[in-house]
Chain A
Amino acid sequence: MIFREVEDRDLIAKARKGDVEAYNLLVSRWEKRVFNYLLRLVSNREDAMDVSQEAFLKAYQSLPKLDDPERFGSWLFRIAHNEAFSLLRRRKPEGEMPIERGTPGPGLLPIELSLAVEKALGRLTEEQREAVLLKVYQGFKFEEMAKILSCPVSTVKSRLYTALDLLKATLCEVNHEL
């Protein structure tokens, strides 16, 4: 290979020295993943956008504390997790009512199936949903998830496995083969 792609760790090293453009490039690599994770967690686009910005700002300010640049991804998601749950805790007093959209039938279009999955995820607790988001959509290992969530691997597996059982039951309504 003639041209070597700039690695995240190179951008992190530059950003640590105050190179804002290097950090912006790093943000552009991760913003979609972080935004989608937060969107499914807080269930609101504006809130997800605000929390994403806050998470990236805190990550920039905390870059000197990042021990291992190779673990930037899980470290960033740890910050995003903290920001999201801070928002969710502030929201709690208002009460949350899950929005029922009706059960889609078989032979669904991709957009309908996507909405059905969104609804099924919405029925999970925040902890269960987050476990699914980090594993199924972000591809983190159990060990990484344990660090992001600050809990034992056994807790991660318990949340995830319960979530998958609940999703299987819920998604049976939209998929006859399930």
Chain B
Amino acid sequence: MSCESYDWKAYALGELAANERREAETHAATCEGCRGELAHVRLTVDTLSALREEEVPRRIAFVSDKVFEPRWWEMFLKPSFAAALVLAAAIVMHGYLMRPAALDEAAIQAQVNQAVTRAVANVERQNAELNTKLTMFYVKQTGIKYQ
């Protein structure tokens, strides 16, 4: 290849593919003119790098604008909000289904009355049995017939 076919600016600026770079380097190793041209390009680019980078005088920042904020109904479309909504509904449903049955005060009162009646009858029966036993014992011991 002739010297004109080598693009030393592209080489110095890192635009050549790996195989093109190798080919150019092989040529430059044996061509003083191309080495000189490459040196000039590199020196120009290196000199350009002396330009100081300036600091930004003041920070660029933006504040939230209502125009860009989501509307109220758009929050329902958020996955996190929908998940929270489903969880809350599940808790409410569980509480409703698992509530204790409503109490019937009349039925309870009837049950109490029945229990009291049974207890009173039981005590009266026991007292009658005890009286009978005591009477029989007294008759046996004294021979006096109890009237």
Interface residues of A (CB under 8 A from B): 18, 20, 23-24, 27-28, 31-32, 35-36, 39-40, 45, 49, 52-53, 56-57, 60, 110-111, 113-114, 116-118, 121, 132, 135-137, 141-142, 157, 160-161, 164, 167-168, 171, 174-175, 177-178
Contact = CB atoms under 8 A, between A and B. Distances in A.
Interface residues of B, number: 31
Contacts of B52: 110-111, 114
Contact of A167 (B44, B59, B60, B64): B44
Per DSSP, are chain A's interface residues mostly helix, strand or loop, or mixed? helix
Given A164-B9, A164-B41, 15 more contacts: A18-B69, A24-B61, A40-B51, A49-B56, A53-B60, A57-B62, A117-B51, A136-B49, A160-B9, A161-B9, A168-B40, A168-B43, A175-B43, A178-B40, A178-B43
B89 interface: no
A141 B60 CA distance: 27
Given A27-B60, A31-B59, A36 B43 contact: no
B15 A141 contact: yes
Interface in B34-69: 40-41, 43-45, 47-65, 68-69
